[in-house]
Amino acid sequence: MKTVLSILTLTVFLILLTALPNTALQSRRHGPAETLFTEQFFSQTVDHFNFNTMGNATFRQRYLITDKFWKAGHGPVFFYTGNEGDVWDFALNSGFILELAAQQQALVLFAEHRYYGKSLPFGNSSFNIPQVSLLTVEQALADYAVMITELKQQLAATHCPVIVFGGSYGGMLSAYMRLRYPNIVAGALAASAPVLSTAGLGDSRQFFQDVTADFEKIAPECRDAVRGAFSQLKKLAEHKDYSRIQSEFALCKPPSSERDIHQLNGLLRNAFTLMAMLDYPYSTHFMGNMPANPVKVGCGTMLRGPDLLANLRDTAGIVYNSTGVLTCFDLYSLYVECADPTGCGLGFNSQAWDYQACTEIELCYESNNVTDMFPPMAFTEQDREIYCSKRWAVLPRPGWLKTQFWGDALSAASNIIFSNGDLDPWANGGVRKSLSSSLIALNISGGAHHLDLRGSNEVDPESVISARQKEAEIIAQWVEMERSRLQKTL
Ligand SMILES: *[C@@H]1O[C@H](CO)[C@@H](O)[C@H](O)[C@H]1NC(C)=O
Ligand SMILES: *[C@@H]1O[C@H](CO)[C@@H](O)[C@H](O)[C@H]1NC(C)=O
Ligand SMILES: *[C@@H]1O[C@H](CO)[C@@H](O)[C@H](O)[C@H]1NC(C)=O
Ligand SMILES: *[C@@H]1O[C@H](CO)[C@@H](O)[C@H](O)[C@H]1NC(C)=O
Ligand SMILES: *[C@@H]1O[C@H](CO)[C@@H](O)[C@H](O)[C@H]1NC(C)=O
C-alpha cells in the first residue's frame, strides 16, 4: 500500500517535473544570461543639477551585475548605458558584451535608465507634471557617471578601465558618456546610434525611405503591393466604408472617424518599421516576437494572393499577432501614437519615451507615399509643438541636443566606435564614416538594428563576425591605454 502510494506520488511528481520546463520556456527570461546576472539597486541622486529643489533625495535605480568573468581588481568594467526600456530586455539581447567580457576578463554592469522599468524616481507618480521633468539625457548621464564611480569604489575596481556600450538611444548615451565624462569612461561602443538625425541633422524623409528600401530589396513587387494596399484602404476610407474596413482588417471595433483611420495607418506602418529594424537572420524576442528574416516573411505575406488588404492585415499580424491568439486588432491598445513616429512602445516606458521625444530628442520623421511606400503622414516641428504642449505642457527645444552633444562636429571627440547595419532604418541617422583614427565607423552589411551587440549565432553574416572582432581589438587597445593612464595618475 505504502509502496503503491509512493510510486503514485513519484509518478505525479515526475509528470509535474516534465511539465515545469515548458512553463519556464514560455517565460521571456530564460537561458544562461538570466542566471548570470544579479539584480541590484543603487541609491541614486534624484536631481544632479539643482541643490535646493530635491535636496539630497535619492531613488532606487536598478542595475544588473555579473563578475563571473572578471579578473577582480584588474579586468575592465563593461558598462551598458541603459535606454528606453526594462534593463533585462537589453541584458538578454546583448550577448556580445558577455562574450567579450569572457575574452577580456571584464566585470559587466547593465544600468537601467531613470524613469524606465523599475527605476521610477517618484514611483507611479513619475509621469505627473512636474515630477517627469527630471527625465533628461543630462540626468541619465550623470546617473551613470555617479554609479560607475561609486560602484568602482565598492567593488575595489578603482584601477579598472571602464568601457561603455549601448544600442540605439543607448548607443547615443554611450557616445555622450565619452564626450561628457572622458575622466570616467575610456571608450564607447555606440551601436546603431542615430546621433545626427535625433539632433535634427538629416532628412525627415530618410527613416521611412530606408524602411521601404528594405522591402524593395526583397522585391520591388513587395513595395508595390504595400503601396497598393494602403491605396485601397484610402479609397475605402474616402467612401466612409467603415464596416468593410473593420472586416478586412479584423478590427475589434469599426472605425468611425478620420482619426481612427489615421491610427490604423500608423499601426500598420509601425509593423513595417519593426520588421525592418528587427530584420535579424534568426527569430528573436526583443521588442516583441519576430520570425527569422521578418522582412522576407513580410514580403512573402504581402505577395501571397490577390487580396491586398488581407495580405496587409496578415503582414501586420506578423508583428501584432505573433502568438496567433489575437481574435481582432484593437487600434488603440496595440499601437500608441506619440511624439516618435517610429513608435513609443506601450505602458509606462512609452510615456517616458514620449516625454523625451517631446523635449530633447527630435524625431520629426514623415512618410509621404513618394520617397516611401506609406500613406502621407507628416510630423512636422509644428505638429510636435502642438502635441507636446498639450500632452506634457512642454515646448520642444530643437537644436538643444546638437548644442549639448556636439551635433555633426564630433571629430574633436575620441575613442568611439559607431557601428551600423545597412538594413537598419536608423543607420543613416548616425555616423557612417570614420571621423579620425579613434572615431571609427563600422558598416555591417546585411545587419539590422545593433546586430553586433547580440550574441553570436550560427547564421550570423560574415560582416557581423568581423565587426565584432574589430570591436574586440579596438576595445582591448582602449583598455590598455587607459590602464597605463590610470597607473600614471595613481
Ligand atoms: C539628507 O540630508 C538630511 C539633512 O538635511 C540628513 O538628515 C539625511 O540623512 C540625508 N540623507 C541622505 C540619504 O544622505
Ligand atoms: C504602479 O503601476 C503598476 C502598473 O500599472 C502597478 O502594477 C503597480 O501596482 C502600481 N504601484 C503602486 C504602488 O500603485
Ligand atoms: C491571429 O493568428 C491566428 C493564427 O494564425 C489567426 O487564426 C487569427 O485570425 C489571427 N488574428 C487576427 C486578428 O488576424
Ligand atoms: C500613393 O500615390 C499613388 C500615386 O502615385 C496613389 O495612387 C495612391 O492612392 C497613394 N496612396 C495613398 C495612401 O495616398
Ligand atoms: C555598407 O555596406 C554595403 C554593402 O557592402 C554598401 O552597399 C554600403 O554602401 C555601405 N555603407 C557605407 C556607409 O559604407
pLDDT in tens, the chain (490 residues): 333 333 333 333 333 333 333 333 333 444 677 899 999 999 999 999 999 999 999 999 999 999 999 999 999 999 999 999 999 999 999 999 999 999 999 999 999 999 999 999 999 999 999 999 999 999 999 999 999 999 999 999 999 999 999 999 999 999 999 999 999 999 999 999 999 999 999 999 999 999 999 999 999 999 999 999 999 999 999 999 999 999 999 999 999 999 999 999 999 999 999 999 999 999 999 888 999 999 999 999 999 999 999 999 999 999 999 999 999 999 999 999 999 999 998 889 999 999 999 999 999 999 999 999 999 999 999 999 999 999 999 999 999 999 999 999 999 999 999 999 999 999 999 999 999 999 999 999 999 999 999 999 999 999 999 999 999 999 999 999 999 998 887 6
Q: How far apart are CA 379 and CA 340, in angstroms?
A: 9
Distance 125 CA to ligand 1 centre (A): 23
Distance 442 CA to ligand 5 centre (A): 10
* Residue pair 375/234 in contact by the 8 Å Cβ criterion: yes
C-alpha cell at position 358: 517631446
Tell me which of 126, 168, 192, 197 is the catalytic residue: 168
The pLDDT of residue 83: 98
Residue carrying C-alpha cell 520623421: 365
Q: Where are the beta strands (DSSP E) in 77-198?
A: 77-81, 107-111, 162-167, 187-191
Mark whether 424 is an active-site residue. Answer: yes
Domain locations in the chain as residue ranges? 33-200+404-488, 205-392
CATH code of the domain made up of 33-200+404-488: 3.40.50.1820
* Residue pair 269/375 in contact by the 8 Å Cβ criterion: yes
Supply the residue whose CA is at minimum distance from atom 10 of ligand 2. Answer: 124
Supply the residue whose CA is at minimum distance from atom 10 of ligand 4. Answer: 231
Supply the residue whose CA is at minimum distance from atom 3 of ligand 2. Answer: 124
For the Cβ of 217 lying below 6 angstroms from any atom of ligand 5, the answer is no
Distance 473 CA to ligand 5 centre (A): 22
Q: How far apart are CA 424 and CA 199, in angstroms?
A: 18
Distance 279 CA to ligand 3 centre (A): 22
The pLDDT of residue 287: 84
Supply the residue whose CA is at minimum distance from atom 5 of ligand 3. Answer: 324
Q: How far apart are CA 64 and CA 147, in angstroms?
A: 12
Sign of CA dihedral 381, 386, 390, 396: positive
Tell me which of 424, 450, 452, 460 is the catalytic residue: 424
| Record: fold of 205-392 | Four Helix Bundle (Hemerythrin (Met), subunit A) (1.20.120)
Please give the model's pTM, rounded to 2 decimal places: 0.92
Q: How far apart are CA 298 and CA 291, in angstroms?
A: 10
C-alpha cell at position 75: 579586468
Tell me which of 126, 449, 450, 452 is the catalytic residue: 449
- The pocket around ligand 2, CB under 6 angstroms, is made up of 123-124
Q: How far apart are CA 44 and CA 91, in angstroms?
A: 21
Q: Which atom of ligand 1 is nearest to 58's Cα?
A: 13
The pLDDT of residue 4: 35
* Residue pair 423/276 in contact by the 8 Å Cβ criterion: yes
The pLDDT of residue 319: 97
**Ligand 4, residues 212, 223, 230, 231: which to mutate, most atoms within 8 A of Cβ?**
231
Count of C-beta atoms within a 10 Å radius of residue 269: 24
Q: Where are the beta strands (DSSP E) in 246-365?
A: 284-285, 289-290
The pLDDT of residue 374: 98
Mark whether 168 is an active-site residue. Answer: yes
- In 3D, which of 471, 426, 419, 470 has the Cα closest to residue 445? 419
Distance 231 CA to ligand 3 centre (A): 23
Q: How far apart are CA 371 and CA 275, in angstroms?
A: 19
Distance 340 CA to ligand 4 centre (A): 24
Mark whether 279 is an active-site residue. Answer: no
Supply the residue whose CA is at minimum distance from atom 9 of ligand 1. Answer: 56
Q: Is 362 helix (H, G, I), strand (E, B) or coil?
A: coil
Q: Which atom of ligand 4 is nearest to 375's Cα?
A: 13
* Residue pair 46/16 in contact by the 8 Å Cβ criterion: no
- In 3D, which of 164, 168, 119, 181 has the Cα closest to residue 419? 168
Ligand nearest to C-alpha 424: 5
Supply the residue whose CA is at minimum distance from atom 14 of ligand 5. Answer: 443
Residue carrying C-alpha cell 503601396: 227
